[in-house]
Chains A and B, each alone.
Chain A
Amino acid sequence: MAVETDWIERLTGESSARDAALADLRELLRGKLRHAFASSGDDFIEDITQDALLKIHSQLDAFEGRSKFTTWALTIAVRVGYTELRRLRWKDVSLEQVTENSASVDAGRVDSQNEPAASAARKQLVEAVHAIIDEDLTQKQRDVLKAELAGMPQEEIGRRLGMNRNAIYKLTYDARRKLKKELERRGFSQEDLSTD
């Protein structure tokens, strides 16, 4: 097995060293992924190990040495595994199904306490959030926010909209910032956002 400092050198070296390094890395990743995704079958582990190896090899110049090489490689492999797992879990679900099933009209209800003041404050906040969502967010921001709140992973939302996970994160981040700033402008404080 290669020591940490050897990996990049071996993986970018002449063919026999490279092949041996790839075999070592494959063995290491396969073992860790088998442990990490214990409930998945051998075929799944083999597939994501291979996909992860290809991705790691194509991104070697992105390794900055801020961690051990094997930790960095495993981070990429775990993301490859989850990307595939989420794709399989959500493959038969459309964005429309998710967003249509999550709607309800009961958002102003206060479960734990019936004090009129708390109830009225909550009602005002909920009405303001709904109004800002309807008036200030784009239709795409509304759709993505709703799908995310319904539990659909960002990369699966992105897959259906032709966007990557990072772009989906930025889209909802912009939506959250817009909502928060507008709530502040309307007089709601950080403490008002507490749900306890």
Chain B
Amino acid sequence: MDLSKENMDALLGFLKQTKDREATCDDCLAAMAEFAETHLAGKTIPESLKAIEDHLEICAECKEEFETLLTALREM
């Protein structure tokens, strides 16, 4: 299969971020509320949530949902 230069660059970027263990989208959803509250409070992300932070770097959909959640929470 041939990839465009843009897609090849995107894939190489994903590969660079790929880890031996990653949180899935379901893991991310389960912990996103806690992660968002920690983030909004300006606290250091604890080790237990590092995998969620990594997942948000690589999953565009979870990242989009997270940013929208932050926007909504800031209004609360």
Contacts and interface: CB of A to CB of B under 8 A. Distances in A.
Contacts, number: 133
Contact residue range for chain A? 35 or more
Interface in A74-94: 74-76, 78-79, 81-82, 86
B75 to A, nearest CB: 6
Interface string A156-184: 00000000011001100100110110010
A79 B9 CA distance: 28
B4 A104 contact: yes
A36 B68 contact: yes
Interface in A16-34: 32-33
A113 interface: no
Interface residues of B, number: 40
Contact of B4 (A71, A107, A142, A145): A107
A150 B60 CA distance: 12
B45 interface: no
A154 B75 contact: no
Contacts of A183: 15
Interface in B8-66: 8-16, 18, 20, 22, 24-26, 29-34, 36-37, 59, 61, 64-65
**Ranked 3 nearest A-B pairs via Cβ:** A67-B33, A104-B4, A71-B33
Interface of A: 32-33, 35-37, 62, 66-68, 70-72, 74-76, 78-79, 81-82, 86, 102-107, 109, 111, 125-126, 129-130, 133-134, 142, 145-146, 149-150, 153-155, 165-166, 169-170, 173, 176-177, 179-180, 183, 190, 193-195
